[in-house]
Amino acid sequence: MSVKISLLKRSKEIVLEWLGENYSGDEYNVFYSTGTKEKDFKDQFLKIELDCDENKFPLFASKIRTELLSKDESYSDLRFKIINI
């Protein structure tokens, strides 16, 4: 399912705000892909880069998903990837 560009932009803002308040690491980056490479928008996602142990990624993914869904149920279709910086 396609996520609107406005939701991707807003999700980036929400995640950056959440990381600024809750992330104790030194570095993080957030980008989004608008999904223009495929007609079915499978490449539409939010990319989150963190400078922490990869074992903590599931914890951050869960907390970020909870934060996004608390703002708007429309984020339930949003895909995101967490990777190391």
Average confidence (pLDDT) per 10 residues, the chain, 85 residues:
79 97 95 74 86 95 97 91 94
- Dist CA 1 CA 79 (whole Å): 10
User: How open is the CA angle 46-49-52, to the nearest 5 degrees?
Assistant: 140
Supply the pLDDT for residue 16: 97
Supply the pLDDT for residue 37: 65
Supply the pLDDT for residue 77: 86
CATH number at residue 42: 3.30.300
**Per the structure, how many domains does the chain have?**
1
Supply the pLDDT for residue 34: 82
Residue range of the domain that includes 60? 5-84
User: What global pTM score does this model have?
Assistant: 0.88
